[in-house]
A and B are shown apart, each in its own frame.
Chain A
């Protein structure tokens, strides 16, 4: 039986409580590359790498001493050539000749060790990834909450703004209506006086009445514009969209401003794509065109020219109606503001108007899925473009 221990296919080693190796079998010596006399009598822990030594002192030895055994302990032993060799150790404690002896069976676990290492590494990687994921999740959740708060804030601000705008539109509509009634009365009575219903008039009185009448008309137009804009903004305008040939629009509107243009000595030209037909509310498109032409006439000095151009973009088939003048032009800053209500390019006495024409025109254009834009060089002139949906 003695020989059996030497030959069994695993390492065997026994040590006393003071750590001294008492016995070691040939198999273990062979595996580690030591001679018997190099090992016997030496402390068991001196065969281990440092990590295993500390583990032996803090875990393994107390375990064997307290429980009389230890199972499946992984240890790294140092071979004579310095190589680290992994072993799995089972230990049992016996009394032999009145002395406590700790017997250990040691199995090499090189392949399993690699496998375990890979598992542990994989687990660590997975844990790290999971942690990262959790942190990323946390960050996203925080951001989502933040965004939601911002959105709520925006939403409530938008609601407040909408309500304020609606209140304004309602106020303007009511006020405009209340103002028109007395203004119509002023106009009517001025007309009656002018007709001599209340007796003959002197020339001076007639001149004064004419001024009253003109001022009344100006004020009425202004109020009408305000009323129109507030109606548009309140969304209370109906659009009757039909196929509208643009040449007909130009033919209807241009003659309305020709007397004005002729009076100032401004040339008018038309460059028309005769075939252009658009989807629009004809009446409103005519109003937009009239506004643009009236503005062109107003802001173009004598000797200048106004051109109406209708063209089709071959790429998206969108149709443009341009009104181009050689007037005073609009600065880049003004181009941003010009479509806002009550803004005028040059609010001097010569250019009367409410400052609502362009605001109304753009609102009308947008109401029929079109748009109104401007390009201008100060001192050279402006081009206002209505971009329309093709029929």
Chain B
């Protein structure tokens, strides 16, 4: 079971979920480059300018560990990262579990993504105010003082993101992208976990994903918000278990 964290977080976000599956599955956790305790030296601005770069990272992990029949669990943006990776090499995936997926966040009538471009700019501005902004004042300190790891550690503890520039690019790659066409034709079975009152991925988007995927199961959760694995781990675990135990048409 490979679990991929969402934008703004790191692998720690799976801590309430992992114990429930660690007896039955080999658990693989990772941080995207620029998140958590990843190696910033591995960052490649071109590679990560779109989600495909992140999908390539997932495939790299599958290859490095020679994983097959993988259950891929992706939160938020990682749902689409998983879909893109599974499109490339479907044989390596057994099932996908998509928590709060959205292939496009910005409205494109009649498609409703939930946001206008100005909303995303509002997010970037809030990020700026919270860490991109002042981290940029400190930025050179963080980036240019490898001998002072406590600076990086401090930022990591505060925001899971070690580098403000990378976080900004990740936000743009996530929220400004249109990955709707990546959904079509996917053979790998997938579970869509749809939260209640999810501002980031509203119900209409969950429906769109479910309808676009050839072999998907839709679950409406009681959990509210966008991070049910953090706010409502019990319900999340239960729905994942049910899905993993039920046979799916392949």
Contacts and interface: CB of A to CB of B under 8 A. Distances in A.
A75 B137 contact: no
A63 interface: yes
B8 A18 contact: no
A172 B193 CA distance: 99
Contacts of B129: 74, 113, 116, 120
Contact of A58 (B7, B15, B115, B122): B7
Interface stretch (A48-56, A289-297, A299-307, A368-376): A48-56
A76 B231 contact: no
Contact of A50 (B15, B115, B134): B115
Interface in B155-196: 157-160, 175
Interface in B189-228: 197, 199-200, 223-227
B126 A74 contact: yes
Interface stretch (A64-72, A192-200, A279-287, A324-332): A64-72
A233 B237 CA distance: 100
B141 interface: no
A62 B200 contact: no
Contact of A17 (B7, B9, B123, B231): B231
B126 A120 contact: no
Q: Which of B199, B223, B224 has the most CB atoms of chain A within a 10 A radius of its CB? A: B199
Nearest to B167: A59
B231 A73 contact: no
Contacts of B226: 57-58, 61
B152 interface: no
Q: Which of A49, A54, A71 has the most CB atoms of chain B within a 10 A radius of its CB? A: A54
Contact of B6 (A43, A58, A76, A113): A58
Interface string B73-99: 000100000000000000000000000
Interface string A88-121: 0000000000000000000000000100100110
A76 B225 contact: no
Contact of A51 (B13, B121, B157, B227): B121
B150 interface: no
A59 B157 CA distance: 12
B200 A17 contact: no
Contact of B15 (A66, A73, A75, A119): A66
A273 interface: no
A40 interface: no
Given A55-B127, A120-B133, A67 B227 contact: no
Contact of A54 (B13, B159, B199): B199
A260 B224 CA distance: 120
Contacts of B12: 66
B136 interface: yes
B130 interface: yes
Contacts of B157: 67
B232 interface: yes
B125 interface: yes
A43 B123 contact: no
Interface in A303-346: none
A387 B119 CA distance: 80
Q: Which of B8, B115, B121, B124 has the most CB atoms of chain A within a 10 A radius of its CB? A: B8
Contacts of A119: 133, 137
B128 interface: yes
Nearest to A64: B230
A113 B130 CA distance: 11
A65 B230 CA distance: 6
B8 A116 contact: no
A245 interface: no
A43 B133 contact: no
A116 B227 CA distance: 30
Contact of A18 (B7, B121, B224): B224
Interface residues of A, number: 32
A50 B125 CA distance: 11
A45 interface: yes
Contact of B158 (A18, A54, A71, A75): A71
Contacts of A74: 126, 129-130
A74 B159 CA distance: 13
Interface string A25-55: 0000000000000000001010001111111
Contacts of B122: 49-52, 54
A55 B122 CA distance: 9
A113 B231 CA distance: 31
B62 to A, nearest CB: 25
Contacts of A55: 8, 123, 126-127, 130
Contact of A62 (B9, B123, B130, B134): B9
B232 A50 contact: no
Nearest to A109: B129
A101 B233 CA distance: 16
Contacts of A67: 157
A177 interface: no
Contacts of A71: 158
Given A55-B126, A57-B200, A120-B133, A63 B159 contact: yes
Nearest to A53: B199
B126 A62 contact: no
8 contacts: A17-B225, A45-B199, A45-B225, A49-B122, A50-B123, A53-B199, A54-B123, A119-B137
Interface of A: 17-19, 43, 45, 49-55, 57-59, 61-63, 65-67, 70-71, 73-76, 113, 116, 119-120, 123
Interface of B: 6-9, 12-13, 15, 76, 115, 119-130, 133-134, 136-137, 157-160, 175, 197, 199-200, 223-227, 230-232
